[in-house]
Amino acid sequence: MTPHRSGAIALDVALYLVLPLVGLFVWGWDWRPIVLLYWLENVTIGGVTFITLRRRAAAGEPVGMPASFFVMHYGIFTFVHGVFVIVLISLIPVITNTPAAPFDPLWVVLAWVLTTLIQWFLALRADPPQPAGVGRAYARVIALHLTILGAVWLIAAFGLPAIVAVFLVVLHAVIDIAGLVLGARLTRTRVAS
């Protein structure tokens, strides 16, 4: 693993594991800032994938999906899901009649912007460029929908306490670890072939 890649993974752990746990236990978050953060992660992954596709194409490597098609398709896909996430964050407390204190997403968004810019910089500087990983970008959206949003619905529908949102953080970590393990296996298989 290159230093750039290990740095990117450390940033992921800090932002998508440590920050939500601190938010839950120290700042009194409920599930809403966590879901917002995890949706924003899709934008980061899409940006890294786009950068990688462009760099690999510029180097003359076959990349499969053109970067322009990816950014258009993934951008629309992520935008629509972002609207869904914002509606979910706003309406579930009303629909389920669950009291929810207002939250200010400013610090979540600022932390995300900072780490995203670093991730994109690392993707630009990676030598050699990372594997394109178009599948990883789409897998993240599917994982978000099937697990995170389903868990949110259960938390809100049953009026479970906010601390149950730790489940979301653990679920996200498990999905990330599984993705890293599978990605490493696929890379080893390709190299061995």
Domain boundaries, the chain: 3-192
Regarding predicted confidence, which is higher, 132 or 55?
55
The pLDDT assigned to 76 comes to: 93
| Residue-wise pLDDT tens digits, 14-71 | 788 888 899 888 888 888 888 899 889 889 989 988 988 888 888 887 767 788 898 9
* pTM as predicted: 0.81
Range 51-58 contact pairs with CB under 8 angstroms and sequence separation of 24 or more = 51/120, 51/123, 51/124, 52/123, 52/126, 52/129, 52/130, 52/131, 52/132, 52/133, 53/132, 53/134, 55/123, 55/124, 55/126, 55/129, 56/129, 56/132
Residues 6+ apart with CB under 8 A from 78: 39, 42, 43, 46, 141
pLDDT at site 110 = 92
- pLDDT confidence tier of residue 109, bands split at 50, 70 and 90: very high
Is residue 34 within 8 A of residue 168, CB to CB? The reply is yes
pLDDT band at 181 (very low <50, low <70, confident <90, very high): confident
Q: Which residue has the higher pLDDT, 168 or 183?
A: 168
| pLDDT of the residue at 132 | 56
> What pLDDT shows up at residue 187?
65
Mean pLDDT of 163-177: 80
Q: How far apart are CA 191 and CA 193, in angstroms?
A: 6
